[in-house]
């Protein structure tokens, strides 16, 4: 095999009080896609930040094409051929794609330091075309481009530095399911051009589809590097978690339908068109659709965040839900998809966060009953196994999984009848995922009716009693207990007409 | 934490730094200006800080909630002049006071309606009100001051009880009352919550609109109260009353440790911030330092105090 383009030897990184990385070795060859995996906090992002020049390692050596290098900052790393594409795009929405690509590039300047627009557009277009983004007009403002196109622009921008090494951090996170394939095509092209790609992702399926090799980190140490053909999903999880996670999903036995708790008729607004469904007591009903298919809109409507037409009935009585406060009155709870922005108040304590929705019930004559608040908070800390020394700790210090448990806990404290969960395990590591799945399962067993909205197909399939598939705002299919598999689900959600023998 | 800090038996928190600063200012002027460290002077200072102090109460809450109210000075003048006109029109003085307070509440309601209900930017709305109301004040009374109020009314701003000014006692009571609200009630919890993450509060089934509306209503009410106390203290309702008072109020709030981006702050901090700026002003006055230099010094103090606040 050829010489490695990049070697990292014995990389260690210490932050005050924490060893983030300990003696990690990493090798990367030209034209390979090398997946980097590990639970949250395993050290993936620290390693990538060292590689891209954000942090300096405490110990260890980085060699690029055999020569030892020290990256003083990300720009220096880029100029030497190491570029990173972050999970969140760093594009200026009001500038054109070309401007975004060349914003920090002096070489595009023409005479007298004036900007040579024609040269910039020409080179930008060439670069974008070369990685298979032929349909994209680089003169367009970025905000008018779709997510996939924006990602192509990010990749092109990274490549404009003549990158030998490209780090892609959760590249599929921002993409709708059907655009992931397009991104893979771009990656394949880069591979063919000899670019070495570090692919950081949580998604197993993608790793097996695109990666040649995989390196697993755990607790700041390298566990192993393997060819992708040598590993299975199970063995990877074992390496990441350090123990066997035999059962990610609890077994949900088939149940007779009980009484209807929530009845929705002809709900319409924005992305949803005349949607009707029923949720039964103790049921987990999965709603699945590609982004923009309307499942998020339905959740917003049911929680009073958006207004629209249609009828909603709870326990047989028609209701109006005009605000989250009214939804809460009707015992509807909503665990929103964006935990950081909508679920928690980071600087505040676990206790304050848990008590927030029910402060009214905890007030006596205008004054908050601190004893009751403490009791409730500690009850949910125990019940949900929120890992923290005490409940006065700020939620900012918790891991993603524990933060998510706080969001679930604060709604359980409101004693809901209907729980809407949207992306309940986004950014949560495998261990905590299993715990959250068990909690959801238990809640349903105890009679809570749950509407589960998720873009992770295994999650929807593993947890739901029934699954309703949305396509462009309409229900196109219902899977009964145990009927769905990933392929069927995706087919129905992408283009229901392709499914044969099915009159939709 | 530095080694020095570790040796201290307590954590050197912000409040402590502020109290030390206050102490230093008092010590400094005690040596420099002989009249400074006297009961009479202190009580005079307290008497004169009440208007700024009253408005600083809702201002602290509003800044904690992540907003801003620049219209307080104009509301103060508008309320004062409304009260004056009502009195001149033959209304009983106490009913006139109520007219003034209602005027303030109405202004606060307009601010609150636009900012909370229509989600307009607080700074923009309150600058609009600042300019508009000040104009309205001149239009209403053609810039003519109103005076000749009955003696009973001057009690509010000029009476001393056991040597302590009545209005300062009132201010202290208000501070304690609202401190209780902020620390012990759910309204206070909502205000801190909104300042830290408005969306989460909304998603928790709590009316952000109502909370914000109440805050601006309170701001209107307290500005009007400050107007009433000012008229009582100076015995005259003038169109220029309260001009630029918002700058002192905001300075005191920020020096008191309230975070300009919201989410953090306390009324006790604001109270110390108030004392710092009034004693500094008073001491510099006694030393004969010109008002212009006083502004320079206060400005620098503000920059140092807020310089460490980052988003």
Interchain pair B186, A334: CB under 8 A: no
Taking the CA of residue B197 and the nearest CA in chain A, the distance in Å comes to: 6
Taking the CA of residue A480 and the nearest CA in chain B, the distance in Å comes to: 32
Compute CA distances A302 → A125, A264, A326, A424, whole Å: 45, 9, 10, 17
Do the beta carbons of residue B270 and residue B253 sit within 8 Å? yes
- What is the chain A residue with the closest CA to B197? A345
Question: Beta strand pairing status for A6-15 and A18-28?
Answer: antiparallel
Interchain pair B192, A410: CB under 8 A: no
Q: Which residues of B touch A325 (CB under 8 A)?
A: 205-207
| CATH number corresponding to A6-241 | 3.40.50.300
Do the beta carbons of residue A385 and residue A331 sit within 8 Å? no
Question: Distance between CA A306 and CA B96 in Å, rounded?
Answer: 45
Q: What is the largest CA-CA distance in chain A?
A: 78
Q: Which residues of A touch B184 (CB under 8 A)?
A: 367-368
- Mean of per-residue pLDDT scores for chain A: 86
The kind and range of the H/E element at A262 are: strand A260-269
Taking the CA of residue B2 and the nearest CA in chain A, the distance in Å comes to: 14
Give the residue with greater pLDDT, A38 vs A277: A277
Where are the domains positioned within chain A?
6-241, 261-498
- What is the chain A residue with the closest CA to B210? A325
Q: State the SS3 of chain B.
A: CCHHHHHCCCCCCHHHHHHHHHHHHHHHHHHHCCCCCCHHHHHHHHHHHHHHHHHHHHHHHHHHCCCCCCCHHHHHHHHHHHHHHHHHCCCCHHHHHHHHHHHHHHHHHHHHHHHHHCCCCHHHHHHHHHHHHHHHHHHHHCCCCEECCCHHHHHHHHCEECCEEHHHHHHHHHHHHHHHHHHHCHHHHHHHHHHHHHHHHHHCCCCHHHHHHHHHHHHHHHHHHHHHHHHHHHCEECCCCCCCHHHHHHHHHHHCCCCCCCCCCCHHHHHHHHHHHHHHHHHHHHCCCCHHHHHHHHHHHHHHHHHCCCC
**Tokens read off for B136:** 């309205």
- What is the chain A residue with the closest CA to B181? A367
Domains in chain B, please, with CATH?
11-307 (1.10.3470.10)
Mean pLDDT of A166-192: 82
The confidence score (pLDDT) of residue B87 equals: 93
**Helix A147-159, helix A117-130: angle, nearest 10:** 110
Mean pLDDT of B103-125: 95
pLDDT, tens only, A253-267: 877 788 999 999 998
ipTM: 0.85
3-state secondary structure of A419: strand
Residue B226 has pLDDT above 90, yes or no: yes
| Residue given tokens 């209005």 in the structure block | B167
The residue of B184, B198, B205 whose CB has the most chain A CBs within 10 angstroms, and thus the best one to mutate to test that interface, is: B205
Same fold, A6-241 and A261-498: yes
Residue A336 has pLDDT above 80, yes or no: yes
Nearest in space to B245 (alpha carbons), one of B110, B122, B130: B130
Residues 6 or more apart whose Cβ sits within 8 Å of residue B249: B52, B55, B56, B59, B72
Residue A291 has pLDDT above 80, yes or no: no
Taking the CA of residue A23 and the nearest CA in chain B, the distance in Å comes to: 29
Give me the residues paired with residue A364 across strands.
A367
The confidence score (pLDDT) of residue B6 equals: 44
The confidence score (pLDDT) of residue A110 equals: 67
Sign of CA dihedral A148, A149, A154, A158: positive
Residues 6 or more apart whose Cβ sits within 8 Å of residue A298: A264, A267, A272, A275, A287, A453
DSSP A265: E
Beta carbons within 10 angstroms of residue A488's beta carbon:
17
Residues 6 or more apart whose Cβ sits within 8 Å of residue A306: A269, A270, A297, A300
The confidence score (pLDDT) of residue A36 equals: 93
The confidence score (pLDDT) of residue B121 equals: 93
Q: Who among A329, A342, A359 is closest to B203 (CB)?
A: A342
CATH class of A261-498: alpha beta
Mean pLDDT of B88-94: 91
Interchain pair B189, A352: CB under 8 A: yes
DSSP A404: H
**Tokens read off for A169:** 């951090």
pLDDT, tens only, B295-306: 899 889 888 878
Q: Who among B184, B189, B200 is closest to A342 (CB)?
A: B200
Question: Distance between CA B224 and CA B100 in Å, rounded?
Answer: 6
- Interface size A-B, in CB pairs within 8 Å, comes to 69
The confidence score (pLDDT) of residue B202 equals: 95
Interchain pair B203, A336: CB under 8 A: yes
Grade residue B2 by pLDDT with cuts at 50, 70 and 90.
Answer: very low
Taking the CA of residue A364 and the nearest CA in chain B, the distance in Å comes to: 9
The confidence score (pLDDT) of residue A481 equals: 85
Q: Which residues of A touch B189 (CB under 8 A)?
A: 352, 356, 359, 368
Interchain pair A305, B203: CB under 8 A: yes
pLDDT, tens only, B50-87: 999 999 999 999 999 999 999 999 999 999 999 999 99
pLDDT, tens only, A142-175: 888 877 788 888 888 888 878 899 999 888 776 7
Nearest in space to A345 (alpha carbons), one of B204, B304, B169: B204
Question: Distance between CA A143 and CA A92 in Å, rounded?
Answer: 8
Q: Which residues of A touch B200 (CB under 8 A)?
A: 341-345, 356
| Residue given tokens 């598939």 in the structure block | A469
**Poorest-confidence range of A411-415, A424-428, B6-10?**
B6-10
Mean pLDDT of B226-231: 96
Interchain pair A362, B200: CB under 8 A: no
Residue A279 has pLDDT above 60, yes or no: yes
Taking the CA of residue B11 and the nearest CA in chain A, the distance in Å comes to: 18
Interchain pair B186, A363: CB under 8 A: yes
Q: Who among B184, B185, B263 is closest to A347 (CB)?
A: B263
The confidence score (pLDDT) of residue B8 equals: 46
Question: Distance between CA A86 and CA A140 in Å, rounded?
Answer: 22
The confidence score (pLDDT) of residue A91 equals: 87
**Tokens read off for A137:** 């007009």
**Tokens read off for A426:** 């986004």
Residue A222 has pLDDT above 50, yes or no: yes
- Mean of per-residue pLDDT scores for chain B: 90
Beta carbons within 10 angstroms of residue B180's beta carbon:
14
Give the residue with greater pLDDT, B78 vs A500: B78
The confidence score (pLDDT) of residue A290 equals: 78
Residue B109 has pLDDT above 70, yes or no: yes
Q: Who among A323, A362, A410 is closest to B207 (CB)?
A: A323
Q: Which residues of A touch B201 (CB under 8 A)?
A: 345, 356
Residue B213 has pLDDT above 80, yes or no: yes
Residue A70 has pLDDT above 60, yes or no: yes
The model's pTM is 0.79
pLDDT, tens only, A441-489: 999 999 999 999 998 888 898 899 999 998 888 888 899 888 888 778 8
Interchain pair B185, A328: CB under 8 A: no
Please state the separation of Cα B92 from the chain's center in Å. Answer: 28
The confidence score (pLDDT) of residue B291 equals: 86
pLDDT, tens only, A5-57: 999 999 998 877 667 888 999 999 999 999 998 876 678 888 998 998 888 99
What percent of chain A has pLDDT above 70? 94
Chain B residues at the A interface, defined by Cβ less than 8 Å, are 184-186, 189-190, 192-193, 196-197, 199-207, 263-264
Q: Who among A323, A341, A345 is closest to B193 (CB)?
A: A345
pLDDT, tens only, B9-57: 444 577 888 898 899 999 999 888 888 888 999 999 999 999 999 999 9
The confidence score (pLDDT) of residue A420 equals: 96
Taking the CA of residue B195 and the nearest CA in chain A, the distance in Å comes to: 10
Taking the CA of residue A437 and the nearest CA in chain B, the distance in Å comes to: 22
Give the residue with greater pLDDT, B186 vs A171: B186
Interchain pair A357, B263: CB under 8 A: no
Chain A residues at the B interface, defined by Cβ less than 8 Å, are 303, 305, 323-325, 327-329, 334, 336, 341-348, 352, 356-357, 359-360, 362-363, 366-368, 410, 414
Residue B7 has pLDDT above 60, yes or no: no
The confidence score (pLDDT) of residue B311 equals: 57
**Poorest-confidence range of A234-248, B235-249, B268-282?**
A234-248
Residue B310 has pLDDT above 70, yes or no: no
């Amino acid at each position: 095999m050829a010489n490695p383009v990049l070697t990292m030897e014995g990389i260690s990184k210490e932050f005050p009080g924490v060893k983030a990385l300990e003696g990690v070795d990493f090798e990367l060859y030209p034209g390979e896609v090398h997946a980097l995996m590990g639970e949250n906090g395993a050290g993936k992002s620290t390693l990538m930040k060292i590689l891209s020049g954000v942090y300096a390692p405490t110990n260890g050596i980085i060699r690029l094409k055999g020569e030892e290098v020290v990256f003083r900052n990300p720009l220096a790393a880029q100029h030497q051929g190491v570029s990173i594409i972050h999970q969140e795009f760093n594009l200026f929405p009001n500038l054109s794609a070309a401007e975004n690509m060349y914003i920090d590039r002096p070489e595009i300047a023409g005479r007298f330091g004036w900007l040579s627009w024609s040269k910039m557009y020409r080179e930008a277009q060439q670069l974008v075309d070369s990685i298979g983004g032929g349909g994209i007009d680089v003169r367009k403002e970025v905000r008018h481009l779709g997510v996939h196109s924006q990602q192509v622009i990010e990749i092109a921008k990274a490549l404009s530095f003549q990158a030998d090494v490209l780090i892609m951090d959760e590249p599929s996170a921002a993409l709708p399911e059907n655009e992931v394939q397009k991104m893979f095509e771009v990656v394949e092209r880069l591979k063919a051009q000899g670019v070495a790609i570090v692919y950081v992702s949580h998604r197993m399926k993608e790793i097996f589809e695109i990666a040649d090799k995989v390196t697993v980190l755990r607790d700041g140490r390298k566990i192993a590097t393997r060819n992708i053909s040598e590993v299975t999903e199970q063995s990877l999880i074992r390496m990441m978690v350090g123990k066997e996670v035999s059962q990610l999903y609890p077994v949900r036995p088939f149940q007779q339908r009980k009484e209807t708790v929530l009845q929705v008729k002809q709900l319409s607004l924005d992305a949803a068109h005349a949607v009707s469904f029923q949720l039964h007591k103790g049921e987990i009903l999965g709603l699945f659709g590609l982004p923009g298919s309307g499942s998020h809109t339905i959740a917003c409507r049911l929680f009073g965040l958006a207004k629209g037409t249609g009828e909603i009935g709870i326990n047989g009585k028609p209701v109006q839900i005009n605000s989250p406060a009214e939804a809460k009155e009707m015992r509807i709870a909503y665990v929103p998809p964006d935990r950081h922005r909508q679920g928690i108040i980071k600087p505040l304590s676990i206790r304050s966060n848990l008590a927030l929705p029910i402060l009214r019930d905890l007030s006596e004559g205008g004054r908050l009953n601190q004893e009751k608040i403490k009791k409730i908070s500690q009850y949910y800390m125990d019940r949900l196994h929120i890992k923290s020394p005490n409940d006065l700790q700020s939620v900012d210090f918790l891991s993603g999984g524990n933060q998510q448990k706080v969001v679930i806990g604060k709604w359980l404290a409101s004693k809901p009848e209907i729980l809407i969960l949207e992306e309940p395990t986004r950014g949560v590591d495998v261990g905590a995922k299993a715990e959250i799945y068990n909690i959801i399962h238990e809640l349903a067993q105890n009679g809570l009716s749950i509407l589960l909205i998720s873009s992770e197909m295994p999650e929807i399939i593993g947890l739901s009693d029934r699954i309703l598939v949305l396509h462009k705002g309409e229900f196109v299919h219902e899977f009964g207990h145990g009927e769905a598999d990933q392929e069927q689900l995706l087919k129905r959600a992408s283009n229901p007409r392709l499914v044969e023998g099915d009159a939709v | 934490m530095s080694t020095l800090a570790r040796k201290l038996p307590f954590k050197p928190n912000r409040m402590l730094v502020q109290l030390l600063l206050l102490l230093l200012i008092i010590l400094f002027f005690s040596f420099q200006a002989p009249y400074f460290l006297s009961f009479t002077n202190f009580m005079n200072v307290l008497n004169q800080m009440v208007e700024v102090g009253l408005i600083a109460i809702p201002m602290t809450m509003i800044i904690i909630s992540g907003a801003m109210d620049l219209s307080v000075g104009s509301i103060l003048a508008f309320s004062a002049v409304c009260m004056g006109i009502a009195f001149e029109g033959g209304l009983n003085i106490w009913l006139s006071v109520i007219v003034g307070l209602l005027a303030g509440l109405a202004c606060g309601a307009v601010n609150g309606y636009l900012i909370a209900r229509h989600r307009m930017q607080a700074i923009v709305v309150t600058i609009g009100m600042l300019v508009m109301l000040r104009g309205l004040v001149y239009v209403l009374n053609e810039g003519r001051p109103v005076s000749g109020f009955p003696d009973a009314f001057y009690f509010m701003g000029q009476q001393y009880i056991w040597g302590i000014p009545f209005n300062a006692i009132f201010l202290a009571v208000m501070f304690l009352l609202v401190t209780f609200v902020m620390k012990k009630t759910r309204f206070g919890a909502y205000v801190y919550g909104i300042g830290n993450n408005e969306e989460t509060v909304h998603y928790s089934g709590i009316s952000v609109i109502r909370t914000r509306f109440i805050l601006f209503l309170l701001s209107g009410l307290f500005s009007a109260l400050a107007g009433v106390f000012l008229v009582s203290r100076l015995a005259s309702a003038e169109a220029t009353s309260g001009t630029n008072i918002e700058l002192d109020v905001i300075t005191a709030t920020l020096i008191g440790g309230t975070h300009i981006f919201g989410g953090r702050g306390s009324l006790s901090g604001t109270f110390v911030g108030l004392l710092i700026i009034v004693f500094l002003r008073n001491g510099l006055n006694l030393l004969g330092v010109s008002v212009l230099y006083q502004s320079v010094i206060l400005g620098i103090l503000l920059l140092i105090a807020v310089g460490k606040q980052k988003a």
